[in-house]
Amino acid sequence: MRDAGGWDYVIVGAGSAGCLLANRLSADPACRVLLMEAGGEGGAFWLRMPIGYFRTIYDPRFSWQFRLKPQESTAGRSIVWPRGRVLGGSSAINGLLYIRGQHADFNDWAAQGAQGWSYSEVLPWFRKSERYAGGTSEYHGADGELCVSDLRNDHPYCAAWIEAGLQAGHGHNPDFNGARTEGLGAYQLTLRGHWRCDANNAFLAPVRKRANLTVMTGVQVTRVMMENRRAVGVQFVDANGQAQSARAEAEVILSAGALQSPQLLQLSGIGPADLLRTHGIETVVDAPEVGANLQDHYQARVIVRLRHRMSLNDQVRSPLGLAKMGAQWLFSQRGPLTVGAGQVGGMVCSEHARDGRPDVLFNVMPLSVDKPGDALHSFSGFSASATQCRPMSRGIVQIASGDPLRPPEILANYLTHPYDAKVLVAGLKMLREIYRQPAFRDLVTDQEYMPGNTVQSDRDLEEFARRKGGTVFHPVGTCRMGEDDCAVVDSRLRVRGVEALRVIDASVMPSMVSTNTNAATIMIAEKGAALVMGA
């Protein structure tokens, strides 16, 4: 094994968290920082184009394709979880939505033992990294690097859907990242000018030339090196297959995400002792919860057929429509090419909501497709999805062997808790009720595409959700933060039982935030960087 050299901090994973950490830690010229990424440099056109996530999210050049273990609860299907494999990580392939979560989500964290992570305590860290186009306020920052923009595409049917939602009894919300989170409205997106603003071009690219910052791409970290229960570096395989090591004088920081951070801990001897013993790995710390507590959002959609050719399905098949979209994007930085995975939506309370907290998240697009990467439907389609905000089902991530290059085994356990299925069914019924309101009912035909007119009972809707639902690409929780003895990391994100090793990414969330996870992950990295530097 060849020694690649020594640094003060070695950061594993150049995703949403890793890119920000590299920026903040290397701001001190006395700190030598190494950032390691298994994927490539990125920069491809479709990675930069906002709407390009449809092309890139399932492209193995840019994302890992983790295949879940098939389960009866989701009709025995082999669902794939794509995770970013490029500078910027999943922020380079995600749907661009910038939404932080409900205020109470972070108060939940504090109640579960994550000291210092209540909403009032994390709000400054959200604001620090944000450059909101609407300017600074009590809830928004305008001096950070992550560019956040209001929706730049005005589709009349999206406006009609919001009006229908109001007619159905839901409230309006002009800013999901403001004083309250309940209600329907337009989403904010991570956009800078014409292009996607991901963690790479927001935080890493501007400081890439710092003399004390080294970025390695195409390198696969295989384990953390330990000496007397202290992390002293990492072993990795470079692009040529050469085994190498890199030493860390201060700390090793895992920012590899909710799937690969626990995998690396287990490969390094930190995890359930029985699992490690099975695969011939010496136990450094018997930590049963490493890889446990896995959570993800699961969605099901209601897709309708429009009476008139007002869907993006139609525009992309029209030379004139394509030319119009291109002109809007090029000359005014607006239009369909600037949208992400949702234009409008919001959070509402179902009949099962507890403590008055919204428990269903809606996401609406004036198009229809079976899944990202597939061709848009040939008919004029309009889609709205329902997601349970805070699923109670829990999964697990475990190494499948001692081979560090072999993907871990992932058991999602979607809809295994009966409450999750009840809330999801209620969400689908609410979507149908919105479509039936005066503002929208005359825009659609009588033939629902999905779930379909014959699917009416709660039992049939649940069966539909199990057969046709899927991931919203938000895995979290597998290196739970807390102050109890079973937590994987403490409230300062230090791995319990060892020294000089932290996990700073979405895996430390004790429980799922109610919305998309990218904004919260960047906040975790912002606060985590301050903790590393002694704040």
Look-up: residue for tokens 């960087």? 529
Q: Are 82 and 60 in contact (CB under 8 A)?
A: no
Q: Are 221 and 256 in contact (CB under 8 A)?
A: yes
Burial (CB count within 10 angstroms: exposed 0-12, middle 13-18, buried 19+), residue 481: buried
Residue 423 annotated as binding site: no
The strand pair at 2-12 and 243-254 is best described as parallel
Residue 284 DSSP label: S
Cα(265)–Cα(276) distance, integer angstroms: 10
Cα(251)–Cα(224) distance, integer angstroms: 11
First to last CA, the chain: 37
Give residues with Cβ within 8 angstroms of 529, minimum separation 6: 20, 21, 24, 25, 504
Annotated catalytic, 474?
yes
The strand pair at 243-254 and 501-503 is best described as parallel
Task: Give CA 126 to chain center in angstroms.
Answer: 16
Could you say which of 103, 155, 297, 474 is catalytic? 474
Cα(253)–Cα(508) distance, integer angstroms: 13
Cα(260)–Cα(478) distance, integer angstroms: 10
Residue 341, classed as helix, strand or coil, is: coil
Tokens, residue 246: 């890199």
Cα(478)–Cα(280) distance, integer angstroms: 22
Cα(128)–Cα(491) distance, integer angstroms: 20
Cα(126)–Cα(128) distance, integer angstroms: 6
CA dihedral sign, ordered 479, 480, 482, 488: negative
Residue 12 annotated as binding site: no
Cα(503)–Cα(337) distance, integer angstroms: 36
Residue 171 DSSP label: P
Q: Look at the chain and count its residues.
A: 535
Cα(446)–Cα(454) distance, integer angstroms: 12
H/E element, 525: helix 518-532
H/E element, 4: strand 2-12
Residue 326, classed as helix, strand or coil, is: helix
Residue 180, classed as helix, strand or coil, is: coil
The strand pair at 213-217 and 33-37 is best described as parallel
Q: Are 62 and 86 in contact (CB under 8 A)?
A: yes
Binding-site residue numbers are 86, 221
Binding-site residue numbers for FAD are 86, 221
* Catalytic site positions: 474
